[in-house]
């Protein structure tokens, strides 16, 4: 799955379209901003986790190794990420106060208002997956507001005290337990770091060092290129589902549209989007490195991603991946 995100997203950066298109939803109808209304006090953590967050993580944008806040993984980690400060300097979520929560501002579309300090596009870019009616889109967005207004807790289904359980009387006598025999000897428990691969260990090199092929928890060391999976996946929000360079969701679709495939004459003067082994001749890399003018196109456009340029370390890593002939990232978390 993560490999697909990587490869799909790589090509999408180059599209002539942009994230600023007014019409990007499936029916080209932007959802109206959520209106003020009574808060549904039944809306809880499971409602936003199960109904909203999948549209934020499916393209890789806010999934593992993706952009902040990361909205996939165990509940404790996701919730901790939501309490951190966003690019506006305010927390993504302030329990009890939707208007002070940057995440709600981004979803509501008021993040660019004076005093908020936000940037970029309304979220999720392109709308919620498989939701085509404006009323349904609105209802999903309002769920986030209601959850925050209700205190942004992590319980589900109303976790109130139901009182003591009724007395069911003494338990029936089941008689003597059957003799199940002696327990099966499964051997010694796995001990990570003892140099022997046992149990569910993927490896065991006898030490507790990370980055040497086998991690300290006896899992295989992820490829260094795993770090660019989320960054490239974030580009699919603009270019993955509408207009321009729209692609499929598998490795073959990505390769057939980018590797050794020429860019438009207007944008990249025919330079390949990806030239394996040569980042300097890859229009994708030039766009991310803000060197797109070197390709020679009459209208190369600006740096990608818009409003969220990559740090130099990420640009360098992408270049290394291309220069290394695009090895498939392995063991990504």
Q: Do 258 and 10 contact (CB within 8 A), yes or no?
A: yes
Look at residue 109 in the predicted model and tell me its pLDDT: 85
Distance CA 8, CA 259 (A): 12
In a domain, 134, yes or no: yes
> Nearest-CA neighbor of 67 among 321, 308, 329?
308
Judge if 13 and 127 occupy the same domain. no
- 194 Cβ contact list (under 8 Å, min separation 6): 204, 206
- 57 Cβ contact list (under 8 Å, min separation 6): 63, 66, 71, 72
Q: Point out the residues of the chain with pLDDT beneath 50.
A: 1-34, 36, 159-168, 172, 177-178, 241-250
The H-or-E segment that residue 7 falls in is helix 2-12
Look at residue 241 in the predicted model and tell me its pLDDT: 47
Q: Do 70 and 86 contact (CB within 8 A), yes or no?
A: no
Judge if 284 and 321 occupy the same domain. yes
Look at residue 286 in the predicted model and tell me its pLDDT: 95
In a domain, 272, yes or no: yes
Q: Number of helices (H) and strands (E), helices first, in the chain?
A: 12, 0
Q: Do 52 and 46 contact (CB within 8 A), yes or no?
A: no
Judge if 9 and 62 occupy the same domain. no
Look at residue 22 in the predicted model and tell me its pLDDT: 36
Judge if 145 and 31 occupy the same domain. yes
Q: Which domain holds residue 281?
A: 1-17+247-333
Judge if 12 and 87 occupy the same domain. no
Judge if 139 and 34 occupy the same domain. yes
In a domain, 275, yes or no: yes
Distances (CA, A) of 82 to 77, 128, 238, 261, 286: 9, 19, 23, 40, 33
In a domain, 323, yes or no: yes
> Nearest-CA neighbor of 298 among 272, 266, 270?
266
Distance CA 268, CA 261 (A): 11
Distance CA 127, CA 293 (A): 32
Q: Do 276 and 260 contact (CB within 8 A), yes or no?
A: yes
pTM: predicted TM-score of the whole model, two decimal places: 0.46
CB atoms within 10 A of CB 71: 25
Q: Do 214 and 206 contact (CB within 8 A), yes or no?
A: no
Distance CA 256, CA 41 (A): 49
In a domain, 193, yes or no: no
Judge if 76 and 9 occupy the same domain. no
Please tell me the total number of residues recorded for the chain in this structure. 333
The number of distinct structural domains making up the chain is 2
Task: For CA atoms 3, 290, 87, 102, give the dihedral sign.
Answer: negative
Judge if 84 and 125 occupy the same domain. yes
Look at residue 213 in the predicted model and tell me its pLDDT: 85
Distance CA 323, CA 296 (A): 21
In a domain, 41, yes or no: yes
Judge if 33 and 134 occupy the same domain. yes
Q: Do 300 and 13 contact (CB within 8 A), yes or no?
A: no
């Amino acid at each position: 799955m993560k490999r697909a995100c990587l490869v799909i997203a790589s090509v999408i950066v180059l599209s002539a379209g942009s994230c600023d298109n007014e019409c990007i939803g499936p029916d080209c109808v932007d959802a109206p901003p959520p209106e003020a209304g009574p808060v549904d006090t039944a809306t809880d953590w499971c409602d936003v986790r199960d109904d909203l967050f999948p549209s934020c993580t499916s393209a890789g944008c806010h999934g593992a190794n993706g952009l902040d806040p990361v909205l996939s993984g165990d509940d404790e980690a996701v919730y901790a990420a939501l309490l951190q400060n966003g690019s506006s300097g305010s927390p993504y979520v302030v329990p009890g106060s939707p208007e002070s929560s940057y995440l709600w501002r981004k979803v509501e579309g008021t993040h660019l208002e004076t005093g908020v300090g936000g940037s970029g596009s309304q979220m999720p870019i392109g709308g919620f997956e498989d939701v085509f009616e404006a009323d349904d889109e609105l209802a999903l967005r309002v769920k986030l507001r209601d959850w925050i207004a209700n205190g942004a807790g992590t319980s589900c289904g109303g976790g109130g005290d139901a009182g003591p359980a009724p007395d069911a009387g003494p338990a029936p006598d089941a008689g003597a337990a059957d003799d199940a025999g002696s327990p099966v000897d499964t051997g010694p428990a796995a001990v990570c770091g003892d140099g022997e691969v046992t149990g569910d260990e993927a490896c065991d090199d006898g030490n507790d060092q990370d980055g040497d092929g086998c991690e300290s928890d006896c899992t295989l060391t992820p490829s260094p290129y795993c770090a660019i999976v989320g960054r490239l996946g974030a580009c699919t929000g603009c270019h993955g589902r509408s207009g321009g360079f729209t692609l499929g969701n598998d490795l073959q679709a990505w390769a057939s549209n980018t590797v050794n495939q020429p860019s438009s004459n207007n944008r990249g003067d025919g330079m390949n989007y990806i030239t394996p082994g040569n980042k300097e001749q890859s229009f994708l890399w030039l766009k991310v490195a803000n060197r797109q003018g070197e390709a020679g196109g009459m209208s190369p456009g600006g740096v990608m991603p818009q409003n969220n340029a990559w740090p130099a370390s990420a640009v360098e890593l992408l270049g290394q991946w291309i220069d290394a002939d695009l090895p498939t990232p392995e063991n990504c978390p």
